[in-house]
Amino acid sequence: MKKLPVLLITFIVFFAQDFASADDEKIRGELRQMADDFLNFRMMKGFDHEMSLAEAYRWQDEMVAIMEPMLGGVVGYKTGGHDPGPGFSTFPPEGIRAYILEGMMRDDGTAIRVDDSKVGFLEADFAFRVGDASINQAESDLEILAGLDAMIPFAEVPDPYYDPNTRSINGTIVANMGTRMSFTGEPVLLEATDAWLEKLNNFTFAVLDEHDTVIQEGTIAGWYKPIAVVRWIRDQLKESGKELIPGQLLSLGNIGIIRQIHEGSPRGPAYTSNQFRLEYYGLTDGDPATVTININR
């Protein structure tokens, strides 16, 4: 086989590098626009790029770096797609991971307005706090539990305001899942015991309104196993060259109770109550662990 001249090979290499660099700058321009649109409550568009999931997560890193000056540093991670409910066509089949930034955090009981999001919805979640860096090498479920120091009552208002004609798996990853607001209650301290694993795999929960009326209730059993989802986040971060840091929060995703804030949503009728109070039963000896989102109308 005839060899290509060295000069031609060099030209091809430099041309490919220049092409890749130009394409990267185009993507960075799209990310800056997406971040600006999200922060200013405009519909995010674009990111119609074929690439591996690993590459999409690399661009997610850049998207978050663009938003950090406005939203603060990384305080944790969230995930979705690990429950047995209907899947999302814009999630990878094995699940999806996104960042939680400091400016997204809200205290328990913080009131929001309907126009604090564009397509936001009230979502009952479940979270842990990382307690020890040993979690990055932990193997057994008990060893992973030993790397966590608290369960965190957690609810959120995601705001996935995308142009539906341009939404994709890679775009959802890069846009950080449209993460808008996260709410946390008082931590419940954990112990690395079989008894606690049993509690975590079998607790029950309910959402109530301001009149203590139960909106919906459920059980974690058969939904997802919390430690298994922590393992998935830990392993996915490792694949992305990252490690968990003590103090970081890990939101494990929807536990089956979602209510739309806005009228006219395909998710269903708008929630009309003024409070969305999530209570967890079976994790404490006394009152249930709780987190509350109030709605100012």
Q: For 286-295, write each residue's pLDDT tens digit.
A: 999 999 999 9
Domain over 6-296 is classified CATH 3.90.850.10: yes
Q: For 175-227, write each residue's pLDDT tens digit.
A: 999 999 999 999 999 999 999 999 999 999 999 999 999 999 999 999 999 99
3-state secondary structure the chain: CCCCCHHHHHHHHHHHHHHHHHHHHHHHHHHHHHHHHHHCCCCECCCCCCCCHHHHHHHHHHHHHHHHHHHCCEEEEEEECCCCCCCCCCCCCCCEEEEEEHHHEEECCCEEEHHHCCCCEEEEEEEEEECCHHHHCCCCHHHHHHCEEEEEEEEEECCCCECCCCCCHHHHHHCHHHCCEEEECCCEECCCCHHHHHHHHHCEEEEECCCCCEEEEEECCCCCCHHHHHHHHHHHHHHCCCCCCCCCEEECCCCCCEEECCCCECCECECCCCEEEEEEECCCCCCCEEEEEEEEC
**Positions in the chain short of pLDDT 50:** 8-19
Q: What is the pTM of this model?
A: 0.90
